[in-house]
Amino acid sequence: MIPTMLGITALVFFSMALSPGGVAGPLLNQVSRLNTVDAKRVREYYEKRYGLDKPAYVQYARWLNLISPIGWRPNPDGSLGGFGFKWPSLGESLGRHRPVSDLIEEFLPVTLLLQAISIPFVYGFGFLAGITSARRRGSAYDNFVGVSQLASWSVPTIWAGVMLIGFLANRDYISLFPSSGLHEAEALNMAFFPHFTPQGWQRGWLLDCIWHLILPVVCLSYGGSAFLTKLMRGSVLENLSSDYVRTARAKGVPENFVLYRHVLRNSLLAMITVAASILPAMLGGSVVVESIFSIPGMGKLGVEAVENRDRELVLAITLIGGLIGLLSTIIRDVLYAMADPRVIYD
Q: How far is the CB of 323 from other proteins (least distance, A)?
A: 8
Nearer to other proteins by Cβ, of 190 and 295: the residue is 295
Dihedral, CA of residue 181, residue 186, residue 192 and residue 197, to nearest 10: -140
Nearer to other proteins by Cβ, of 15 and 197: the residue is 15
Nearer to other proteins by Cβ, of 75 and 154: the residue is 154
Q: How far is the CB of 329 from other proteins (least distance, A)?
A: 8
DSSP helix/strand/coil, 80: strand
Q: Residue 292: how many CB atoms within 10 A of its CB?
A: 20
The CA distance from 32 to 40, in Å, is 8
The CA distance from 328 to 280, in Å, is 8
The CA distance from 298 to 112, in Å, is 9
Q: What's the first-to-final CA gap in the chain, in angstroms?
A: 17
Nearer to other proteins by Cβ, of 55 and 284: the residue is 284
Nearer to other proteins by Cβ, of 74 and 280: the residue is 280
Q: How far is the CB of 210 from other proteins (least distance, A)?
A: 22
Contacts of 131 (CB under 8 A, 6+ apart): 232, 233, 236, 259, 264
Q: How far is the CB of 160 from other proteins (least distance, A)?
A: 8
- 193 close to 206: Cβ distance less than 8 angstroms: yes
Contacts of 98 (CB under 8 A, 6+ apart): 92
Q: How far is the CB of 64 from other proteins (least distance, A)?
A: 16
Q: How far is the CB of 75 from other proteins (least distance, A)?
A: 30
Q: How far is the CB of 314 from other proteins (least distance, A)?
A: 6
Report the interface residues with other proteins, using CB under 8 A: 3-4, 7-8, 11-12, 15-16, 18-20, 150-151, 153-159, 162-163, 165-167, 170-173, 179, 234, 280-281, 283-285, 287-288, 291, 302-303, 306-307, 309, 314, 317-318, 321-322, 325-326, 329
Nearer to other proteins by Cβ, of 190 and 212: the residue is 212
The CA distance from 21 to 44, in Å, is 16
DSSP helix/strand/coil, 346: coil
- 209 close to 106: Cβ distance less than 8 angstroms: no
Nearer to other proteins by Cβ, of 194 and 280: the residue is 280
